[in-house]
Amino acid sequence: MDDGLHIVASSMNSVSRHLDVATYNAVNSTIPGFQNRVITTRSFETKLDRELAREPSLLNTEEVNAFISGSVVPSANPMALALQGDGFFTIQTPKGRAYTRNGDFMLDKNGALTTRAGYPVLGENGQLRTSKTDVAPHFDPETGSLFQGDQEIGRPRIVEFANTGALVRVATTIFEAPSEAGERPPQGTAMITNSLELPSERGLTSMVGLITANREFEASQRVASVMQRTYERLISRNA
Amino acid sequence: MIRAMYTAAAGMQAQQTEVDVIANNLANVQTAGFKRSMTNFEDLLYVTMREPGARTANGSAVAGMQVGTGSRLVSTTKVFTPGALIQTGSDFDMAIQGDGFFEVQGANGERLFTRDGHFFKDANGDIVTSQGLKLVPPINVPPEAISVEIAPDGNLAYVLGDTTQNIGQISIVRFQNPAGLASEGGNLFRQSSNSGDPITLAPGSEQAGTLLQGFIERSNVDVAGELIALILAQRAFEVNSKAIRISDEMLNTTNNLTR
């Protein structure tokens, strides 16, 4: 019977994590380039631990990456870019290079192309800097290069990864790539100018995730409650 | 019941896409040459708890037990019914009566096709669309042609004094499967592997449509039909959300069996 409470605790922990992830996804479902967090739950490998072999219901919950293309919507921001396919933009953070699909870019006070948080977007040859003149920079829809008037400044650097499962999320839409992610040149990723990529699910599945997590948690709580009353009976009988 | 909620969520997402498509059809009710889209849904994989036709111990077959997991949008297809014709009286406006498309040359030289017959004469005398794309095969109208006549078989001519001067011939392009064309926006279509290759014909020959000068083909969107589809989509959305709510209430009842 003491196994039962451990199973219930394990289930409630797992459901709490599902609830966290569902809330996170629902709240961020309108951010351009946002990719849902996904968690999977499975039983512990019972063969690895003979102690746990009696309790195959203990749960192991881990986070995985599952990237999908969202839907492209037009944007009034002339610096907005959307990606369709598996690629990422390259940005420069204080910790080094990072990658994002959030193409809601802007020009900072020095004229450099940056994300909304201020991280510079890297082109094929370093940062993309415009000069502060009256000529407004624009992206060429055919080639995706940033132009200021007739002068070509550069094309944002797009990369793909052979193993997206190795990418580590460091901010809502920013990922870091360890070497096992397998960075490679893009094959088939398209960049669309004056547009943003919005998550295609729009939070509906996350809402259902919230409802189911709530009910599962409640069910576990009921089980714990019944067990606790059974323990009480056992103890009070023996008192 | 948990599965019921995800199934209903899939249904809601399918209806959201349906509303997107209807909204686009309604937005383009005045667009010349526009063809409305229709959505095609399919049911998702079934969870088979018992295979239909499985045998019992004494050899008789049993009915199957399969539960579906929702629906999804599988394709949107363009419906190529003809739109109504409006008379504009403009010399270079043409409507195609029957099948076929006009061919125009894209900005990068690619082959594009359209039903929008609203053409103009540009500064050089070339026949172009509203976006300045040239008609293919190109036709140049000489400056002395004050008014042109376009015959139903595509022959373009103008009257000079007593004589009629021929300028050129407008062609119509047909496809094996017009519904397979890819939409480019701007009233333009592009060939795809589903549509088949373009077949250039003279208007009126081999089932290609004939030309009607001075008319434009309106969009084939039927506003009443789209509004009914919109109401149905909204009700379907509502009914799916009800399924989620009822599943939640059933789970609540289950959990409240004990305190």
164-223 of A, contacting B, C-beta below 8 A: 201-202, 204-205, 207-208, 211-212, 215-216, 218-219, 222
Name the average pLDDT for chain A. Answer: 85
Question: What percent of chain A lies above the pLDDT cut of 70?
Answer: 91
**pLDDT, position B54:** 84
Confidence at residue A102, expressed as pLDDT on a 0 to 100 scale? 93
Q: Tens of pLDDT along A14-36?
A: 899 999 998 998 888 889 999 88
Q: Model confidence at A207, in pLDDT bands (50, 70, 90)? A: confident
DSSP string, chain B: -HHHHHHHHHHHHHHHHHHHHHHHHHHTTT-TT---EEEEEEE--EEEEE-TT-B-TTS-B---EEEE--EEEEEEEE--PPPPEEE---TTBEEEESB-BEEEE-TTS-EEEES--B-EE-TTSBEE-TT-PBEES--B--TT-SSEEE-TTSEEEEEETTEEEEEEE--EEE-S-GGGPEEEETTEEE--TTT---EEE-TTSTTBPEEEETEEE-----HHHHHHHHHHHHHHHHHHHHHHHHHHHHHHHHHTT--
Q: Which residues, in sequence order, are bridge partners of residue B212? A: B95
ipTM score above 0.85? no
B222 contact A CB<8A: no
* A140: confidence class by pLDDT, cuts 50, 70, 90: confident
**The amino acid at B202:** A
CB contact under 8 A, A219 and B254: yes
β-strands A96-100, A174-176: how paired?
antiparallel
Are A226 and B258 in contact (CB < 8 Å)?
yes
pLDDT for residue B73? 86
What would the two tokens of residue B20 be? 């997107």
Say which residues have a Cβ less than 8 Å from residue A15's Cβ, sequence separation at least 6.
Answer: A213, A216, A217, A220
Q: How far is A150 from chain B (nearest CA, A)?
A: 19
Residue contact B258–A202, C-beta within 8 A:
no
Q: How many CB atoms lie within 10 A of CB A62?
A: 10
- φ, ψ at B252 (rounded to 5°): -60, -45
| B17-26 long-range contacts, CB within 8 A, separation 24+ | B17/B73, B18/B73, B18/B229, B18/B233, B18/B236, B19/B230, B19/B233, B19/B234, B19/B237, B21/B76, B22/B226, B22/B229, B22/B230, B22/B233, B25/B221, B25/B226, B26/B221, B26/B223, B26/B226, B26/B227, B26/B230
Report the DSSP pairing between strands B102-105 and B111-114: antiparallel
- Each residue's pLDDT expressed in tens, for chain B with a length of 259 residues: 888 999 999 999 899 889 989 999 999 999 988 999 999 999 888 889 888 888 888 888 888 889 998 888 888 888 999 999 999 989 899 999 999 999 999 888 889 999 999 999 888 889 999 888 999 888 888 888 888 889 998 888 888 777 888 888 999 999 999 988 988 888 899 998 888 899 999 888 888 889 999 999 999 999 999 999 999 999 999 999 999 999 999 999 999 988 8
Q: How far apart are CA B146 and CA A36, in angstroms?
A: 63
Task: Tell me which H or E stretch contains A195.
Answer: strand A195-198
Task: Please give the pLDDT value at position A202.
Answer: 65
The enclosing H or E element of A23 equals helix A2-27
Q: Does B16 touch chain A (CB under 8 A)?
A: yes
The two tokens of residue A187 are 């094959």
For residue A238, what pLDDT is reported? 65
**Cα separation, B1 vs B247, whole angstroms:** 5
pLDDT of residue A50: 53
Amino acid found at A10: S
User: Model confidence at A48, in pLDDT bands (50, 70, 90)?
Assistant: low
On whether any CB of chain A is under 8 Å from the CB of B248, the answer is yes
Q: Hey, which residues 34-73 in chain B have their CB within 8 Å of chain A?
A: none
pLDDT of residue B2: 86
Question: Poorest-confidence range of A116-120, A212-216, B145-149?
Answer: B145-149
**Residues of A in Cβ contact (< 8 Å) with B252:** 215, 218
Which pLDDT score, from 0 to 100, does residue A47 have? Answer: 44
Q: Is the pLDDT of residue A175 over 90?
A: yes
Token representation of residue A146: 């940033």
Amino acid identity of A127?
Q
- Placement of tokens 């080639």 in the chain: A143
pLDDT the model gives residue B230: 94
Residue A25: what residue type? N
